[in-house]
Amino acid sequence: MQAIIMAGGKGTRLRSVTKDEIPKPLAPICGKPILQWQIECLARNGITDICIVTGYMGDKIRDALGDGSRLGVELEYFHEETPLGTAGALAYLGDYIKGSELVLVYGDCIFDVDFSRMAGFHKSQNGDRGESGGATLFAHPNSHPYDSDLLMLGANGLVTGVSSKNTFREGWFDNMVNAGIYILPRDVCSYFTAGQPADLEKDYLFHEHMDGRVFGYRSTEYVKDAGTPERIAEVARDLETGAVAARNLSHPQKCVFIDRDGTINAGRGLIYRPEDFTLLHTTAEAIRMLNASGYLAIVITNQPVVARGLCAMETVGEIHRKMATMLGAHGAYVDALYFCPHHPDKGYPEENPLYKVDCECRKPKTGMIRQAMEAFHISPDQSWMVGDTTTDIQTGRNAGLRTALVKTGEAGRDGKFDVVSDITCADLKEAVLRILYNPITNAL
């Protein structure tokens, strides 16, 4: 697969770093320009045929990187005499693309991504459509969804809409944003007119002609915009500590799996209306600490309200969108969420027979955890299950995880299983603190 890097930005917000002497994509981070970090990641993934689209001070980029041989890649350049937006240059690059697909990235972000996983997802959604197939964008949650454009993803990651940060939002939204990395079909180049500025999102990805053909690849890997001095400093810290490389899904990940009712939110019996969902007061802080650590935060929850006919699947989704919105208001997010809508016992007046099954996902079975482990390359030896019931603790044991019982919600009083947790904590915040910082806990 070939790659295109859009590197024409001037970088007005980075003047304190660039001194107006170099373009934004050459801003140095830990001794290397942003573009070099990007090229090295692409090369590690076997993507060595790269075209860089330049604009402001494009000659500086060409002088710095040359033909790419010292980095183990082959570089070509296309220079925009006048700015053509995030996609206008594609009108000139049809002859450059030799295969049926290409990778496109913006030249102002640092990333460390296992592109083979993203390409596998792309192929699974597009089959053999080839150069006229669909598009895949890299999607992930972030710590500031309230001022970000939010993606609405449907079944199998299909992009069903975008909520703009510039519009007033009513209701609740998933915390899922477009990170600026794409796999596009070759015929993307034919959608643009030479000499006409164009926007990749508005004029292509989210244009009506792509309805049903754009998918979001959810990943927990590191992708961060480095377009301000503050963000460059943050990225530099992450590079120095190894946090950037560690998040690549080619490496085993560690995770804190978290129960929902009674652990994240107040336990009020079966919750089947969004208005009944309220976060416990330390939840956002606890999850924010996980977000800043090397651990993933993934929710694993039984929701028999669907099987019992108390609400529809969409209502459960609305409750989870409320949770994402409330966490996002405090700068926190969960990396993924899995829920089981099934319940094996029959005889409830309004029960939904479609979900009255003995499944493999309902805790204490481990179907949801196994699904997450496969999706995010999670190592059970480094991971935890945190919950308020003995069912949660038994689930963790069944999955080979360490376990933490919290004294909120049921506080272990359900008594369904004769099992003892590795640690017992007052709430989720204490559990996270002990997992992250207690050497005795880490040595269990």
Per-residue pLDDT of the chain (444 residues), as tens digits, is: 899 999 998 888 899 999 999 999 999 999 999 999 999 999 999 999 999 999 999 999 999 999 999 999 999 999 999 999 999 999 999 999 999 999 999 999 999 999 999 999 999 998 665 556 899 999 999 999 999 999 999 989 999 999 999 888 888 999 999 999 999 999 999 999 999 999 999 999 999 889 999 999 999 999 999 989 999 999 999 999 999 999 999 999 999 999 999 999 998 899 999 999 999 999 999 999 999 999 999 999 999 999 999 999 999 999 999 999 999 999 999 999 999 999 998 887 889 999 999 999 999 999 999 999 999 999 999 999 999 999 999 999 999 999 999 999 999 999 999 999 999 999 999 999 999 998 777 777
Token duo for residue 257? 């799996």
Q: Is residue 313 within 8 Å of residue 121, measured between CB atoms?
A: no
CA distances from 210 to 87, 140, 290, 367, 382 (A): 15, 21, 36, 34, 41
Q: Is residue 307 within 8 Å of residue 355, measured between CB atoms?
A: yes
Pick the catalytic residue from 108, 203, 261, 427.
261
pLDDT at position 379 is 98
pLDDT at position 168 is 86
Whole-number Å distance between alpha carbons of 384 and 106: 36
Which helix (DSSP H) or strand (DSSP E) does residue 396 occupy? helix 390-398
pLDDT at position 129 is 59
Cα 368 to chain centroid distance, Å, stands at 18
Q: Is residue 400 within 8 Å of residue 422, measured between CB atoms?
A: no
Whole-number Å distance between alpha carbons of 443 and 425: 17
Complete domains list, the chain, with CATH: 2-244 (3.90.550.10), 253-442 (3.40.50.1000)
pLDDT at position 444 is 74
Residue 319, amino acid? I
* 261 is known as an active-site residue: yes
Query: How does 3-13 read in b/e, with b if 16+ C-beta sit within 10 Å?
Result: bbbbbbbebeb
pLDDT at position 128 is 60
Residue 306, amino acid? V
Q: Is residue 180 within 8 Å of residue 105, measured between CB atoms?
A: yes
Whole-number Å distance between alpha carbons of 328 and 25: 29
Pick the catalytic residue from 49, 114, 174, 259.
259
Whole-number Å distance between alpha carbons of 105 and 41: 12
Phi/psi at 140 (5° precision): -155, 160
Cis peptide leading into 353, omega within 30 of 0? Answer: no
User: What is the per-residue DSSP string for 270-313?
Assistant: S--SGGG--B-TTHHHHHHHHHHSSEEEEEEEE-TTTTTTSS-H
Whole-number Å distance between alpha carbons of 389 and 81: 64
* 238 is known as an active-site residue: no
Q: Return the closest-CA partner of residue 298 out of 383, 177, 410.
A: 383
Whole-number Å distance between alpha carbons of 233 and 404: 35
